[in-house]
Amino acid sequence: MSTKNLRIISRLDVKGGNVIKGIQFECLRVMGLPLELANNYYLGGADEIIYIDTVANLYGRSKLVEIVKQTSAKIHIPLIVAGGVRNLKDIEDILKAGADKVAINTAATKNPNLLKEASKIFGSQCIVSSIETKKINTKKWEAYVDSGREKTNLDVIDWTKKVQDLGVGEILLTSVDRDGTESGLDEELIEEVSKKTHVSLIVSGGIGRPKDYLNCIKKYKVDGIAAGTIFHYNKFTINNIKEFLLQNNEKINMRITKSKLKVNTDAKKKYDIDDYNKYSFNQMRNEKLKVKNVRIYKALDKSEKDFEVGVINYGINNLQSVKKAFERISIKSKWINTPEEVIRSKALVLPGIGTFEYGMKGLKKKKLIDAIKHKVLEGTPLLGICLGMQLLFTESEEYGLFKGLNLIPGRVVKFKDSDSNIKIPHMGWNQINPKNKSWKDTIIKNINTKKNYFYFVHSFFSKPDKEEHILATSTYGKNEFCSVVQYKNILGCQFHPEKSGETGLDMLKEFSINLTKK
């Protein structure tokens, strides 16, 4: 049996601006404010946070967008958001607010094609099928919507198969019968669903003690376990759970964090760290990249340069979380939409969620490609994140064959599902292994490779033509893939540093260090 990664997830059900909790979604009590509880769980070691608007479908709207904006400014782990998602625009709004994944229930049961369309545009790794269940017979459950209030006449096992065929990258399975009871997970349900699941599976409903986690992961192919009651009532901390699991199962690989992380409240603080990169303008002149038809855009007045890092907005990327991560480390950043703003930036970040095709279409539509290549030739630092890293390469095979920015020679390819021990997408916390001998002079120089974890969520990965461009690799099943790349002043990471807790913020500090010294 191979080592298994598991995510311990905090679930926050929201109603009217408060976190609430009941039993089987009834007899609700107010637990506190969403932002305060989410921050406590972040500091306490949660691997993800789930927000669910429990009354969004009742009123035809969700109030979570503003809550997500506030939360993504303060916590730097992944957010799953559910409730009131009706169409592609709702998904886009939630992702732009700072969420990493959107869970869909009611709208999907009424229009299953929404899952297919959303997965094609935003990527399967962003789309979660939320399935609420009630038992109706032995080994038979019905899917419900509206927080367990309304029947769908859909068999849960059949529906599980269908949503995967439609392209979702994750399933959030909730037992309404067990919710809030602390009587243990519905293992019969989990057993039947997990046998039919080839994507990431999160289970929820009934957790009451650490042993419930242990029983579940020993028996079933579960990737995350979400709970609310035991955390809201302070019966156990998240790190209590993790330590118990590590002591009782040597096959678990789990991210452990400090119980209390130090938060920087000094907005004027600058970080004094050695230069991470050895490139120079002279080096760039001597080793020019091949860029055709570069148009020099007129930069605006120096007095208008009120930001340092330009976070490139090409339409479907998660800008809010990246911008807030830079604010957290006292670096001025701005969402940029035009070639002129690209030219004004001291450093560029190409964030990303979604598919390769739509990413390149977004850059072309906004006429940003020539400006980005020009800045790279000038020696401006450029960091690509997740899809943003993949866009740096020559081409991708995602949903066809598409040309990339061609800033780093290489291709983007898919994980092979011939490895039966893995699920695609690769979703969760993983470690990196430095490969290049000069990695100590780079953005990963302060990483403790034995202890530090980063958040990955992807089905495709980059294969540079030259191994010397690979700074670090990660392992998923039998696959060793490039997780950090550097070619002169161009850097990329397949994971999300802005969602990788304090370790990820440390990497962004390293990327920004030249800016703080100017």
Q: 373 versus 270: which is more confidently predicted?
A: 373
Mean of pLDDT over the chain:
87
Give the pLDDT of residue 354. Answer: 85
Domain residue limits, the chain: 4-250, 281-516
Q: % helix / strand / coil in the chain, to the nearest 5? A: 35, 30, 40
Give per-residue pLDDT as tens, 213-258. Answer: 999 999 999 999 999 999 999 999 999 999 999 999 768 888 888 6
Quickly list DSSP for 238-301. HHHHHHHHHHH-TTEE-----SS------TT-------S----HHHHHHT-----S---PPPPP
Give the pLDDT of residue 281. Answer: 30
Q: Could you give the 3-state DSSP secondary structure of residue 105?
A: coil
End-to-end CA distance of the chain: 52
**DSSP-assigned letter for residue 315:** S
CA 95 to chain centre: 10
Question: Could you say which of 132, 187, 192, 398 is catalytic?
Answer: 132
> Is 272 a known active-site residue?
no
Q: Could you give the 3-state DSSP secondary structure of residue 173?
A: strand
In this prediction, residues 283-298 reach a mean pLDDT of 41
Q: Which CATH class is domain 281-516?
A: alpha beta
On whether the CB atoms of residues 395 and 409 are closer than 8 A, the answer is no
Query: Quick check: do 4-250 and 281-516 share a fold?
Result: no
The token duo for 281 is: 């303008």
pTM: 0.88
> Is 275 a known active-site residue?
no
Q: Which CATH class is domain 4-250?
A: alpha beta
Lowest pLDDT segment from 44-58, 218-232, 413-427: 413-427
Give per-residue pLDDT as tens, 124-143. Answer: 999 999 999 999 999 999 99
Quickly list DSSP for 144-156. EETTTTEEEEEEH
The token duo for 268 is: 């004027």
